Amino acid sequence: MLTAQFIRENTQAVRDSLRARGSDLNLDRLLDLDAQRRALIREVEALRAEKNVASSAVARARDTSERERLIAAAREAGAGLDSKERDLALLMDDFEMGLYEVPNVLDASVPFGRDESENVVLETVGDIPTFAFQPRPHWDLGEALGGIDFERGVRMSGSRFFVLRGPLAQLHRALIQFCLDENIRAGFTECYLPAMLTSESLWAAGQLPKFMDNLYQDTEEDYYFSPTAEVPFVNLYRDEIIPAGELPIRLVAHTPCFRREKMSAGRDVRGIKRVHQFEKVEMFSYCEPGDSEREFDFLVSRARTLLELLGLPYRVVQLCSGDVGFNAARTYDLEVWSPGQDDWMEVSSISNCRDFQAHRANIRYRTGPDAPTRHPHMLNGSGLPPGRVLIGVMENYQREDGSVEVPEALRPYLGASVIEPPGS
């Protein structure tokens, strides 16, 4: 989160960023609470000093009447102190909640825009495939291949659930292993992470209070189902000081993710693009502030490399101010072409959150044994989500007979070059 000191010293920059995001947050109210807080802290400190002086005077007093007068004065100071401390505690709760609701300050490079329709395409890589037939969407391909079972998924769990079977389930697993292996070869350390997290972890990562409505929660215990591996990765070093020489720390994990998807009627209602339970291979980095932009470029390059190895046409999109997420200073999306839907589909979102989450999670590092502590920068990016990449592979590699060619990079994992319809 942004600290009170940062907001005071950079008020106009924070205002400009809020305006660019289209946020209606009342910064003046927060600044007023901050002024009240600091004034009340001074009053509390003065009353504590007064109480200490009175208590010391009582201890030194020898005359009985004087002692009684001093005791009364000390009690009066103590009562005033108790009242002011209660006022301060209430005000601090209000002020700290206000701080938690302020989004990160946008990077100067972020273009202004109201929403995703004004994101900026930076580059398109690869040729969009042409077909001698009408390409089919993945939901038709999947059912014809006997590999995506929507009916049974809905019967088990309701809308936006599905079952993968046979070669498509294997292809999904192959994509997970491929993404993990390639990132590990690039220097990331694999982690196995919890899929259930406490509310404290969600607050530290910036998911609460902003995204409460998108989270699945255990109502009997303090647990939330993880919406993304970014959350446990943020909390991996919560309340710790990372020793000198350990940064950058580059991590990767495959995790299930759970989100309440709230969409406009008719949007992404078919297929497996937008569902409540999905998988991701997530990249995460802790680095020194001076290396932050270079690390951002590195994460982008890793996601791009995976798509290029899979032979999928994609484009790089810079998110505009109205579409950048709450925690991020800037974000690039990578989008794969979806022939069956005649549209681009996001498969990776790479964000530089700078020290925003490090402040929330109280994570620090040292540059030397006796050096003062600083907050690291933290970055995250999908590398990649197998479900959406499965869509990209199926639709871009489809054949007229309904079979799907397996990208060369995945053949060692799958042991096949083509996925055929049943009975072929």
Q: What average pLDDT does the structure give for the chain? A: 93
Select from 117, 386, 361 the least CA-distant residue to 233. Answer: 361
* Residue 271 confidence class, pLDDT cut points 50, 70, 90: confident
Select from 82, 91, 94 the least CA-distant residue to 44. Answer: 82
Q: What is the CATH number of domain 4-100?
A: 1.10.287.40
Edge-first strand order for the sheet with 314-318 is: 120-125, 314-318, 330-338, 343-352, 377-382, 277-287, 249-258, 189-190
* Residue 264 confidence class, pLDDT cut points 50, 70, 90: very low
For residue 196, the tally of other CB atoms under 10 A from its CB is 15
Residue range 9-25, pLDDT digits in tens? 999 999 999 999 999 99
Q: Which carries the bigger pLDDT value, residue 204 or residue 219?
A: 204
CA 410, CA 60: separation in Å to the nearest integer?
A: 84
In the annotation, is 21 catalytic? no
Query: Which is the catalytic residue, given 282, 360, 388, 395?
Result: 388
Query: Which is the catalytic residue, given 292, 349, 351, 382?
Result: 349
Fold of the domain built from segment(s) 116-419 = BirA Bifunctional Protein; domain 2 (3.30.930)
Cβ within 8 Å of residue 62, ≥6 positions away: none
DSSP-assigned letters across all residues of 43-109: HHHHHHHHHHHHHHHHHH--SHHHHHHHHHHHHHHHHHHHHHHHHHHHHHHHHHHHHHTPPPPPPTT
Residue range 343-384, pLDDT digits in tens? 999 999 999 999 999 999 999 999 998 899 999 999 999 999
Q: Which carries the bigger pLDDT value, residue 333 or residue 84?
A: 333
Q: Which amino acid is at 126?
A: G
Please compute the mean of the pLDDT values over residues 210-218 and round it to a whole number: 93
SS3 of 146, please?
coil
Select from 19, 200, 208 the least CA-distant residue to 101. Answer: 208
CA 228, CA 235: separation in Å to the nearest integer?
A: 12
Q: Say yes or no to pLDDT of 313 above 70.
A: yes
Query: Which is the catalytic residue, given 21, 136, 250, 259?
Result: 259
Dihedral pair phi/psi, residue 314, rounded to 5°: -145, 165
Query: Which is the catalytic residue, given 85, 346, 405, 420?
Result: 346
Residues of the chain with CATH 1.10.287.40: 4-100
Q: What is the pLDDT of residue 299?
A: 98
Residues of the chain with CATH 3.30.930.10: 116-419
Query: Which is the catalytic residue, given 274, 366, 374, 411?
Result: 274
Q: What is the pLDDT of residue 75?
A: 74
Please compute the mean of the pLDDT values over residues 251-270 and round it to a whole number: 78
In the annotation, is 388 catalytic? yes
Between 68-82, 122-136, 228-242, 387-401, the lowest mean confidence (pLDDT) is in 68-82
Q: Say yes or no to pLDDT of 63 above 80.
A: no
Select from 52, 2, 48 the least CA-distant residue to 27. Answer: 2
For residue 291, the tally of other CB atoms under 10 A from its CB is 15
Q: Which two tokens stand for residue 61?
A: 């007093």
Place of tokens 């590398």: 383
In the annotation, is 374 catalytic? no
For residue 343, the tally of other CB atoms under 10 A from its CB is 9
* Residue 424 confidence class, pLDDT cut points 50, 70, 90: low
The total number of residues written for the chain in this structure: 424
Q: Say yes or no to pLDDT of 70 above 70.
A: no
In the annotation, is 274 catalytic? yes
Q: What is the pLDDT of residue 138?
A: 96
